[in-house]
Structure 1
Amino acid sequence: MFHLLQQRQYRIILTANFISLFGSGLNHASIIWFVLQKTNSANAVALLVTAITLPSLFFMPFSGVMIDRLDRRHTTMALDALRGLCVAVVAVLAFAERVEVWHIYAMGIMLGLGAFMFWPNMAALTQELVESEDVVPLNALVMGTAQGGWMIAGAVVGFLYQRIGLAGTLAMDAATYVISVFLMLSLRRGKRLVHSESVPLSIGQFNRDFVAGLRYVASQMRVLILGAVSALFTAAMMSQNVVTAPFSKKILHAGAAGFGFCNAGWSLGAITSSALTGTLLRHGSGHLSFLAVSLILAAAACGVLPHFGIVAVGVALYFVMGAGRGMAGVSVSSSLMHEVPKQLMGRTQNVINFSSIVFQLALTMAVGWLCEHISLAMGFYVLASVYLVAGLLATIVTRIPASGTKLEPPSAETEALMPRSKAAEL
C-alpha cells in the first residue's frame, strides 16, 4: 500500500487531504464547543449542523453535472480559496471579540455549501488519477490521511481552544486552505476534462446530463444499495456531532478536552481500520463482508456509550465506531470507483450525497430534540439503529454480483445519432 507514496500525484493528494482535514477538524470542534458554551443547548448544536447541511440541498443537483464538466483540479482550488476566505473573515471577528452565534451559523452555511461539492469533486478527481489496481490501497490512504488530520485536530483542539480560543483555531483553519490551494496548483499543469468539450452545456444538455446520472444510479442495483449504505452511515456519523459534545460535558464531565479525546479516538479507529482494509484487500468487492460486520459493531458501541462515564471507556467505544466508519468508507469508495464510469462519477456521488443530506437533516433534528426533551441516551439509541440498518443493508450487497465491467455511457454526439427509442433505453 505504501508504495503508492512514491508517486508524486498521490503524495500531493494525500498531503492536501491531511492538511485540509486537520484544519476542518479544528474548525468543526471549535464552533460546536463555542455554540454549546454560548447556548448550553443540544438543540442549538443540532441547528448548527443543520445550517451546515441544509443549503447544499438546493445547490447539489447542479454541482454533480458541473463536476463532470469542469476541470476537477481547478474546482478544488476555487472551493478551497472561497472557504478559506470565509473562515478568515470570522477569525478576524473573533480576534476583535465581536463574533456572535449567528456569525458561526453563517460561516457554517458557506462551508457546508463548499464541502458538499468539494468531496464529490475530490472523489471524482482521485478516480481520474488512480490506476485500477491502486483503487483500494489509495482509498485506504486517503481515508487514513483524512482521519489522521481529524484525529490530530481532535487530540489538540481542547488544548488549543483553551489557550488561543476560537479566533486562533479559525486562523489555523484558514491557513490550511491556503496550503491546500498551492498543493493542488502543483498537482499538474493545464486543463483536463473527462467530458467532451464539443457539446456545449446548454440548459437542455444540462437536463439531459442530470437525468442520465439519475437513470444510471437507478438502473444499477449494486450501486443503489451501496449508495444507501453510504447515505445511512454518513448521516449517522454527521448527526453524531449533536451528541458528542453533550456526552463529554454531561456524562464524562471532561469538558472540551474530553470532546477532543472522543473525536481523536474515533479518528484513530478510522485510521486503523483503513490501513487494515488497504493492506488485506486488493479488489473492489471482497471486503464488503467486513463492511457489514464493522457497521454492526459500530451500532453496538454507539448503543452502550451513554452508560459509561469513564473517559477511557468512552474513547475506546468511539474508537470502535471510527473503525466502522473507516472500513465502510474504504469499502464503499473503492466499490464505486470500480463500477461507476468516470463520466458519471460526479453525478453518482451527488445522488448519494443528496440522499445522505436529506436523511441527515431529519436525523439531526430528531436526535437534537430527543437529547433536549427526553434523554441523551435516546439520541445515541437512534444513531445506533441507523448504523445497524446500514450494516444489514451491507449484507445484501455481498449477495449481488459485481458487474465486472464499467458501463460507459454513449457520448452526446453518439446519442444524437442513435434512434430515439434506443437512446431512451440507455
Structure 2
Amino acid sequence: MKKPLLPALRSKNYQLFFAGQGVSLVGTWMTQLATIWLVYNLTNSPLMLGVVGFSSQIPSFFLAPFGGVFVDRFSRYRTLIGTQVLAMIQSLTLAVLALTGVIQVWHIIALSLCQGFINALDAPARQAFVPELVERREDLANAIAINSTMINGARLIGPAIGGLLIARVGTGYCFLIDGLSYIAVLAALLAMKVKPWKNVVTDGNPLQKVKEGFVYAFSFPPIRSILLLSTLVSFMGLQNTILVPVIAEQVLKGGAESLGFLMAASGVGALTGGIYLATRQTILGIGKLIALAPAILGVALIAFSLSRYLPLSLFTMLFVGLGTILQIAASNTFLQTIVEDDKRGRLMSLYTMSFLGMIPVGNLLGGVLASRIGAPNTLIIDGIACILGSIIFSRQLPALRQIMRPIYEQKGIVMSKRA
C-alpha cells in the first residue's frame, strides 16, 4: 500500500492541532509585525527595536532548560492549555492599550517580557507534544515538517494581512485579532482525546536534570554541532526580523504595506521550504540541507542589504525565508528523530535555547550595530557569519555521518551492513 503524501494528517489529534495552530499563528505573525512597526513609529530608533526584541526572547535563554525539565515531568497537554490562556491574556492586554491610545514603549517591553516567560515553557512543551499527536511513530518526521509548513504559511498570510490592517485601521486591531485567535487553539486542544499522562518519578533536583540534558546533548558530536550552528544562525542570521522596518522606511522609502510585503515574501520562501520538507519521505540526506541552509540565508541577507529596489528586495527575502526554515525545521526533524524519549523535553528546550534564546542577544547586537553603522552594513556582517558557519559545518559532515550510521541502523532508518 502506497504511503500517503502527508501521513501525519491520518492522526485525528494532529488534525485538530494543525487546524487550531494554523488560525492562531496567523494572529501571532500579525502581532509581530504590528509590534515592530508600533515601536519604530513611537521611537524612530533601531536600538529600541533591538531592546523590544531582546525583552521578548531573553527569558527563553535562561529559563528554557528548566522548562524542558518541567515538560519531561508533567503533562505537556495541560501545560499547553495553560500557556495558551496566558498568551491570550497578554495579547488582549496589548490590544486594549493600543486601541485606547495610551500605549507607550515601556508597556510593549513589559508585555514582551511576559510573552518571553510564557514562550520559555510553551516552546519545549509544544515541540515535545508533537510525538504524542501522531498515532504512528514513522509519521513523526512528517508531522514536524508539516508544523514548519504551517508556521510559515501563517508567516506568509499574517504579515500581508497585518500590513494592510496597520495602514487602514492601526496596530490595535492586529493585537485584538491575535488575542481572539487563541480561542481556536484552546478549542482544538480541548477536543483532543489524549492518553493519560504517566508521571515518571525521577531522582534528582531540577538543576541535576538540567545538567544531565546538557551533558547528553554536548557530549554527542552530531547534536552538539547542530545546536551550535542553530545558535550562530539565530544570533546573526535572524537579526533581519528587527531591521526590516528600518530597511522598508529608510532605504526603500516605503511604509507599513511595504514592510508587510517584505515579511510576506520571506514567508513565501519559508513556506516553499516547509512544503519540500513535508513531502520528503526520509530523514536521510538531511545533514546536507542543514549545511546548505545557512549559506542560502547568508547570501540572501547580503543581496537584500544591497538592494535599493522593492521588487528585488522582495525576491531576496524569498531566499531569506527559505534558508531560515530549512535550517530550523531540518535541525528540529533530525533532533526529534534521534533523541531518547526520556530526554526529549530537555533536548528540545536546549534547541529552543539555541534558537529562540539567542535571538534576543542577536536583536540587541543588531540594534546597536544598525544605530552605529546602518542596517544594510549590519545585514552584510550577518550574511558573512552565516556563510562561514555553513562552511565549518560542511567540513564536519563526513565525520558526523559515520557517528550517526549505527543509530540509523538501530532505528531501522537504514539497513545494517551485516543484514
Per-residue deviation at 1:47? Answer: 0.7
Query: Aligned residue for 1:417?
Result: none
Do residues 137 (structure 1) and 146 (structure 2) align? no
Deviations, residues 229-250 of structure 1 (Å, cap 9, x unaligned)? 2222233454222211101111
Query: Aligned residue for 1:372?
Result: 371
Query: Aligned residue for 2:342?
Result: 343
Whichever residue aligns with residue 247 of structure 2, its letter is F
* Distance verdict in 2 for CA 1:379–1:172, change over 3 Å: same
More deviation in 362-371 or 245-254? 362-371
Deviations, residues 146-199 of structure 1 (Å, cap 9, x unaligned)? 111121011111111122312211110101122211211222246324x51x44
Would you say the 8 A contact 1:21–1:146 is kept in 2? yes
Per-residue deviation at 1:266? Answer: 0.7
Query: Aligned residue for 2:98?
Result: 94
Query: Gapped runs of 5+ residues in structure 2?
Result: 411-419
Do residues 244 (structure 1) and 244 (structure 2) align? yes
Deviations, residues 4-57 of structure 1 (Å, cap 9, x unaligned)? 323212212222332232111011100100010111110110111011122333
Would you say the 8 A contact 2:290–2:330 is kept in 1? yes
Q: Which of 181, 187, 192 does residue 182 from structure 1 map onto?
A: 187
Query: Aligned residue for 1:44?
Result: 48
Partner SS for 1:241: helix
Partner SS for 1:240: helix
Per-residue deviation at 1:290? Answer: 2.5
Query: Aligned residue for 1:383?
Result: 382
More deviation in 62-71 or 155-164? 155-164
Distance 1:11 1:100 in 2: 40
Distance 2:252 2:293 in 1: 25
Percent identical:
20
Whichever residue aligns with residue 248 of structure 1, its letter is A
Per-residue deviation at 1:206? Answer: 2.4
Would you say the 8 A contact 1:217–1:224 is kept in 2? yes
Per-residue deviation at 1:315? Answer: 1.0
Query: Aligned residue for 2:231?
Result: 231
Distance 2:123 2:304 in 1: 29
Would you say the 8 A contact 1:339–1:403 is kept in 2? no
Query: Aligned residue for 2:34?
Result: 30
* Distance verdict in 2 for CA 1:238–1:74, change over 3 Å: farther
Deviations, residues 242-285 of structure 1 (Å, cap 9, x unaligned)? 21110111111121111111111111111111211232x32224
Query: Aligned residue for 2:417?
Result: none
How many residue pairs are counted as aligned between the two chains? 402
Query: Gapped runs of 5+ residues in structure 1?
Result: 409-426
* Distance verdict in 2 for CA 1:219–1:28, change over 3 Å: same
Whichever residue aligns with residue 259 of structure 2, its letter is F
Would you say the 8 A contact 2:29–2:154 is kept in 1? yes
- 5 Å-filtered alignment, 1:182-261, equals 182-189=187-194, 191-193=196-198, 196=200, 198-199=201-202, 204-261=204-261
Would you say the 8 A contact 1:87–1:170 is kept in 2? yes
Whichever residue aligns with residue 40 of structure 1, its letter is N
Do residues 55 (structure 1) and 59 (structure 2) align? yes
Query: Aligned residue for 1:121?
Result: 125
Distance 1:331 1:142 in 2: 12
Would you say the 8 A contact 1:56–1:113 is kept in 2? yes
Partner SS for 1:253: coil
Distance 2:189 2:235 in 1: 29
Query: Aligned residue for 1:171?
Result: 176
Q: Which of 8, 12, 25 does residue 8 from structure 1 map onto?
A: 12
Do residues 160 (structure 1) and 159 (structure 2) align? no
Query: Aligned residue for 2:297?
Result: 298
Per-residue deviation at 1:3? Answer: 4.1
Per-residue deviation at 1:99? Answer: 1.3
* Distance verdict in 2 for CA 1:161–1:282, change over 3 Å: same
More deviation in 234-243 or 379-388? 234-243
Whichever residue aligns with residue 69 of structure 1, its letter is R
Would you say the 8 A contact 1:29–1:157 is kept in 2? yes
* Distance verdict in 2 for CA 1:93–1:172, change over 3 Å: same
Whichever residue aligns with residue 319 of structure 1, its letter is L
**TM-score, reference length from structure 1:** 0.88
Partner SS for 2:205: helix
Would you say the 8 A contact 1:80–1:180 is kept in 2? yes
Per-residue deviation at 1:403? Answer: 5.4
Whichever residue aligns with residue 12 of structure 2, its letter is R
* Distance verdict in 2 for CA 1:277–1:396, change over 3 Å: farther
Query: Aligned residue for 1:421?
Result: none
Partner SS for 1:55: helix
Query: Aligned residue for 1:415?
Result: none
Whichever residue aligns with residue 165 of structure 2, its letter is L
